[in-house]
Amino acid sequence: MLTPHLVTDTVQRALAEDAPWGDLTGELVIPAAATVRTVLTAREDGIFAGGPLIVAAFRQVDPEISVTDLVTEGTPFRAGDVLARIAGPARGVLTGERVALNFAQRMSGVATLTAQFVAVVAHTRARIADTRKTTPGLRALEKHAVRAGGGSNHRFSLSDAVMIKDNHLAALGAVDAATTTAALAGLRDRAGHTTSIIVEVDRVDQIAPVLAARPTGILLDNFSLADLRTGVELIAGQAIVEASGGVTLDTVAGIAETGVDVISVGLLTHGARARPGS
């Protein structure tokens, strides 16, 4: 997801926000000829993400700045580990450091939290996936970080897949089994064979009429563990079974053990804590 254009544009906007007319302190205090060598050091354990943004932040400020020994995306680190070495004109390093750190800390936080969820369900078949509950304008970065942490990406945008939620069904007047089946009739043919179709249900009795529409997946939203097991049995491999709704590190193992294929977790992106580094 982190294309060169995306990285360049994102960093440009961040630097324009942080130093719209330059770094006044650096220009008045730091001699133009001064140089510096420093390291990005982890203050606590985690999973690294955001390397391309670190490089771009410093290089856009001053192409003379070098970033070396940068760890690979998805690399586990321990407190005290050196994640990168930065050297070059002091003014530029001081100007770019906060933007570089903000990206690395935010993305490493998402990657670290994702890795924690992935580890908890490792004994099951379930995959951990993100949602569209991302920071506006930073979705590609956060979804990249989810992958760095070992998670999977759900749809990137509304344009990527058909996902019919309860409010769509309500707007269609689908209030019972018959009207649900009627509302979804022909959807597979209209969407085409390459388009994923996911339908959200919040009751067990909605599963059968939804299956009749031949969806790619059925999202069981806020189901109890007992109902999740029932849903898995009813769907019986006819569609991907996804679970969602209030998933935490304390509850995710139980959800995974019901046999679902995917667990979508909004917390990965909207609840991740930045991983400090200096």
Residue 58 dihedral angles phi and psi, to the nearest 5°: -75, -40
Straight-line distance from the first to the last Cα atom of the chain, in angstroms, rounded to the nearest whole number: 26
Measured torsion, CA atoms of residues 36, 42, 78, 110, in degrees rounded to the nearest 10: -130
Q: Is the dihedral of CA 251, 138, 127, 117 positive or negative?
A: negative
1 vs 121: CA distance, rounded Å: 25
Nearest in space to 74 (alpha carbons), one of 40, 103, 102, 114: 114
* Overall residue count recorded for the chain in this entry: 278
7 vs 17: CA distance, rounded Å: 15
Give catalytic residues, as residue numbers.
Answer: 98, 133, 165, 200, 221
Count of H helices and E strands in the chain? Answer: 12, 11
Q: Are 199 and 172 in contact (CB under 8 A)?
A: no
